[in-house]
Structure 1
Amino acid sequence: MAQYQTIGSTAGSRAAQIDAGLRAHMNKVYGMMSVGMLLTGGAAWAIAGLATTTDPSQAAAQMGNGQYLTALGSAIYASPLKWVIMFAPLLVVFAFSALINKMSTATAQLVFFGYAVLMGLSLSSIFLVFTGASIAQTFLVTSIAFAALSLYGYTTKKNLSGLGTFLMMGVIGLVIAMIVNMFLHSPALTFAISAIGVLIFAGLTAYDTQNIKATYIQHAQMGDAEWLGKAAILGALTLYLDFINLFMFLLQFMGNRE
């Protein structure tokens, strides 16, 4: 009897350790994600400020409403360099995901923060297209929606793995539709892409949160401490991308254009 009590006590202690570790792990994930968001927002705002001017003597191109593009703005928004800036984050995130196992945890974290700055450069044009008030409003709505969806993914007992497969297929279809619409410029297709994009990344937010939780529990039980540090970075990257995409698709509905 004493032996069974000892075994039960050990198992209970181990479960408590995993629960405490999970909370610390998720706090680390959300913390790194938040730092990434701050870097992206700060970089986007700063670059947009450097790319525009109201002084005609410093203008390289005219935008309207008394604003002009500086030489920097003309280079990153009105030259072939804009295509490099547009697709660079996609290439970097694929390379980062493939090579993270070869990096130290500290290096992986620096790469993630560098990627967040690069994303800020890619997204800086929203400050030229949409009003600052509508960007702030959309960010607030996205934050509330993201928090609710992530909380659902963390607390639900329902297995969302099947939903994840379906949503990833949707992402592939969405990317193809967006590439096609770059040439068609169809307002109807743009609206459909935005609506479907909101639904897909809302679902992915819940799914990815549950997957991060499940990944931690699996590796914590195996005592894989080295992987857990990198798993937190990958988790932060995943939720960061969910937030960014949810924000951008919502901005198409809620943003007031300049």
Structure 2
Amino acid sequence: MQTYPSVRSGTADLVRTFMARTYSWMAAGLALTAGVAYLTAQNETLAMQVMALRLPLILAQLALVFVLSMFAQRLSSAVAGMLFIGYAALTGLTFSALLFAYSPTAVITAFATTAGTFGLMSVAGFVIKKDLSAMGRFFMFAVLGLIVAMIVNLFVASSALTLGISIVGVLVFAGLTAYDTQMLRNLALSGVTGEQAERAAINGALALYLDFINMFLFILRLFGGSRD
């Protein structure tokens, strides 16, 4: 009986270490994205070049996410880390356009709102007792539905549909934040360690990073007044 507290303490330490490593990777990715976006926007020549290469850059982003997601168990943590950093940098390049499309106040307000919402939902996902794993399929279909709706809106250009998509998008990625956090906590509780833990932390950071930036984009569309 006397070993139980130490076992629980050891497990808590593993979870704390794993989650801290995951959020460290995520924070580094967000900081890199913000830094690259800001520096690119300050250089008009570079910003114009990025705009001209926007489609290839977006395709490169999708390719990196695909490789990280599909080959997560085969990549070393070093390679996975470099791919994640590369993805964050590419996202910064494409996000530089947001600093021209929206006012600085709108971007800062949307980022602060996203950070607060993300933090609350991540805490909820970590402490909530109810198993959220059954919601994974729902979120997958919800994201697919959002993609279809956004493609349709490219042709109909409906302001009402844009508003609806933005509201649903915020709710979906807020829910995904709680879901992904709980999945990562459960993974840590399974006792993952060493190289496997580092690789899992990087891939977990990617999932949370994607939740954050997608929520940010939808919130920016909701509250941000775009420039003409």
Residues 84 and 206 in structure 2, CA contact (< 8 A), matched pair in contact too: yes
What whole-Å deviation, never above 9, does each CA across 1:51-86 have from its counterpart, x for those lacking one?
Answer: x3xxxxxxxxxxxxxxxxx4x444432x4x322223
1:76 corresponds to which of 47, 50, 53? 50
Aligned-pair Cα RMSD in Å:
1.6
Matched residue, 1:187:
159
Q: 2:26 matched to 1:33?
A: yes
Q: What is the CA–CA distance in structure 2 between the aligned matches of 1:254 and 1:158, rounded to whole Å?
A: 32
Q: Which amino acid aligns with 1:101?
A: Q
1:81-230 correspondence runs (5 A): 81-218=53-190, 220=191, 224-230=193-199
Q: Which amino acid aligns with 2:60?
A: A
Off by >6 Å, runs of 4+ in structure 1: none
Q: 2:11 matched to 1:18?
A: yes
1:251 corresponds to which of 202, 215, 220? 220
User: How many percent identity over aligned positions?
Assistant: 39
TM-score of the superposed pair, with normalisation by structure 2: 0.93
Where 2:130 maps in the other structure, the secondary structure is coil
**Structure with the greater relative contact order (CA < 8 A, sep ≥ 6): 1 or 2?**
2
Structure 1 range deviating more: 84-93 or 145-154:
84-93
Deviation at 1:11, TM superposition (A): 4.0
2:42 corresponds to which of 38, 49, 68? 49
Q: Which amino acid aligns with 2:139?
A: L
